[in-house]
Structure 1
């Protein structure tokens, strides 16, 4: 070439795409009334397959009349109009065999991204979530970087908190008691719908707790709640890492805790923040893979991450965060082998779970009493 050639270089920061966290993964059974044909139901929700719902009201019309699917969708729809991935499983009269089928339906949610192009992050199997299923939900939620919601099985407060001891997963939140609806999984289904609505309206950094739930008319077990005391049913359940339902200006879930065995991830908001950051980093830095490993590339990666942190901090979704390059973790041999390590830390937004007000009685305001009378 005799002249000047201009090469276009792409350097600098890139915007990271916000992770979609409001998609529900629902495992359910469904059937038609006795003697009624199942052609429409089977076509809309094939057994053993995943179905994407983008119009939940329309989906309810083809969800059958028996099983858990229709009732769960109705409870979810009371909270909003989320995108739902349905994993329909067959009905089995044997409880153990039914649990095995449901566990397989839970695991099937892992294929949603490849089959439907979406990833469910809010998982549940209302009315089907026995202990084995809840364990499967937590395991699948961990792989999908999501949260699972399940019922705490027990007849009273003590039994419910004792049941929680069966789990140590940060991706699982247990709920107790059930509502007074005929559908046993009503509370869990409403939690799924509310979690999705909170993600859309407020953000993934807001916990499920203390947001009015639509459609609840009562509870199957009365819950004593006193906001000024820790000597009540709701406080005992929360102390045992079980989220309950209170009636205070409407019905609302009350509790921020997961089943985590790691205190740093005790709050639902901490778990979801960590998940979102992992997801945004992994997908948002794809452009950097296989580019020449130069100092310019490393600076671009770090600044891209820190720019995303500044965005999240400005939105009130993070307290603070920072990414950096540590030379001790990046040896010459590793860099030459195409390996790079970038460190970052973050502080999630903790919920204001406990507010203390110091009350004192004093006579000092009588000091200016004469002026007030005059």
Structure 2
């Protein structure tokens, strides 16, 4: 007589030989929008994203003189963490259509910036444009609270009112200027 077993329910067979497929995404690529009047046009052409896979001394030197914003930003980023940076040198910070070129970074440069910054030129209009790009690319924007004319907002109540004008989870307001805590 044959012995028959009956099973009610679900039977699962697990294999320990399968390697899980996990796609890692670099979240440390920074998109830096900046200005520099005397930057090397070959290294940093106007209105064109440039990929820096690591910031070298030559990259900082080509960014212009010590008093230029791009030079200062690259030097600061390098001193904190030498990471991948997409530099977009703009001639005029009010020309927001140029910032849309960040949307083509994946096809042009092979990277998608996940951190968007525009130190000292992050006016409300620039911040709105960066948020728009961040929503399309699942990125994050760091900005200082500034008035329309670019002056820094320092009064706590005014900062809260400024924050309330944006309804974006992609935005982190940095109180004070970048690199200057409490100012």
In the other structure, the counterpart of 2:124 is 131
Q: TM-score, normalised to structure 1's length? A: 0.40
Contact 1:26-1:125 within 8 A present in 2 as well: yes
Q: TM-score, normalised to structure 2's length? A: 0.80
Contact 2:175-2:182 within 8 A present in 1 as well: no
Query: Counterparts of 2:48 and 2:131 in 1: how far apart (Å)?
Result: 21
Q: Where in structure 2 are the equivalents of 1:331-342 lying within 5 Å?
A: none
Contact 1:88-1:105 within 8 A present in 2 as well: no
After TM superposition, where is structure 1 displaced by more than 6 Å over at least 4 residues in a row? none
- Residue by residue over 1:29-65, the C-alpha shift from the partner in whole angstroms, topping out at 9 and shown as x without a partner, is 1122xxxxx6xx1000000111011231331111012
Q: Where in structure 2 are the equivalents of 1:207-222 lying within 5 Å?
A: 219-220=182-183
Quick check: which one's helix share is greater? 1
**SS of residue matched to 1:104:** helix
Computing the radius of gyration over CA atoms, which structure comes out larger, 1 or 2?
Answer: 1
Contact 1:27-1:105 within 8 A present in 2 as well: no
Query: Counterparts of 2:111 and 2:154 in 1: how far apart (Å)?
Result: 37
Shift of 1:14: 5.3
Q: Which runs of 5 or more residues in structure 2 are unaligned?
A: 1-17, 147-152
RMSD: 1.8
- Residue by residue over 1:68-101, the C-alpha shift from the partner in whole angstroms, topping out at 9 and shown as x without a partner, is 211111221121100000111113xxxxxx42x1
In the other structure, the counterpart of 1:68 is 69
Q: Where in structure 2 are the equivalents of 1:53-92 lying within 5 Å?
A: 53-58=52-57, 59-65=59-65, 66-91=67-92
**SS of residue matched to 2:129:** helix
Greater RCO between the two (CA within 8 Å, min separation 6)? Answer: 2
Shift of 1:164: 0.6
In the other structure, the counterpart of 1:165 is 164
